Amino acid sequence: MNYSRLAGVMAAVGALLLTVTPLSAEKMPPAKEPGKGARMRGMRRNAVLWRVFSQLNDAERKKMHDLQRNNPEAFTVEMRKLVDKYEQLERARNERLLSLIKKYRESKDGKERAKLKEEVSRMEKERFEQHLAGLSRTIASTRQRLAFMEKELNKRKAKKEAIVDARVEAMLTGKIPVFPPQGPPRRPPFRNKLK
């Protein structure tokens, strides 16, 4: 399964999943110019989507990939359900963790504090194990993508002369532009003004 393509789809669907359609135009807040805040919210939303997706097993991932390809609306509904479930579980876990920490700080009994500390430690180990598992899956999919890219590079190296000849012919006949169209201007690199 090509997880890198699916990751791209997940990022694209991120904006679609959690948007809210206003009831009427009169109730809409004035439009804000997208800035750092909007980018950060989008990044958090994509991070949540990726965490949710990375917790699915291979069969569930394949099912979601097929659903995304064949029925995007149903895919959006299913992903929204998964995100809601994930966020609900995370909220409950965080509330439980905060409650245990508060009890630990308020307690004067050594045995109770040791028991609370053990529970907090267990919860944090569990979360860290999930994080490590997600990283392992990311590394595996990156290796898979790298292997695909190396294979494509080797194919292109083998066909280098034919590719160059075809491009030259296309440029000379006007089928493709000599220079690709310019994209938006690049932002200059950050420079420290305190020098």
**pLDDT averages per 10-residue partition of the chain, 195 residues:** 50 43 41 53 68 80 88 89 89 94 94 95 94 86 93 95 92 82 63 53
- Has residue 158 been placed in a domain? yes
| Domain annotation covers residue 184 | no
Instruction: With respect to residue 21, please indicate whether it lies within any of the assigned structural domains.
Output: no
Inside any domain, residue 34 = no
Backbone angles phi, psi at 191, to 5 degrees: -125, 135
- Which pLDDT value is given to residue 16? 41
- Whole-number Å distance between alpha carbons of 95 and 114: 20
Nearest residue to 53 (alpha-carbon basis) of 91, 5, 21: 5
Residue 91, domain member (yes or no) = yes
pLDDT at 61: 83
Interacting residues of 116 by C-beta distance below 8 A, sequence separation 6+? 100, 101, 103, 104, 107
Model pLDDT, residue 13: 46
| Distance between CA atoms of residues 23 and 77, nearest Å | 20
Q: For 8-136, list the strands marked E by DSSP.
A: none
Is 125 a member of any domain? Answer: yes
- The verdict on residue 195 lying in a domain is no
What residues make up the domain containing 160?
3-16+42-173
- For residue 48, the model assigns a pLDDT of 78
Residue 7 in contact with residue 66, Cβ under 8 Å? no
Verdict on whether the full-model pTM lies above 0.85: no
For residue 166, being part of any structural domain is answered with yes
Element (H, E) at 167: helix 160-173
Farthest-apart Cα atoms in the chain, separation: 86
What whole-number distance in Å separates Cα of residue 110 and Cα of residue 122? 18
How many domains does the chain divide into?
1
Class of residue 23 by CB neighbours under 10 A (exposed 0-12, middle 13-18, buried 19+): exposed
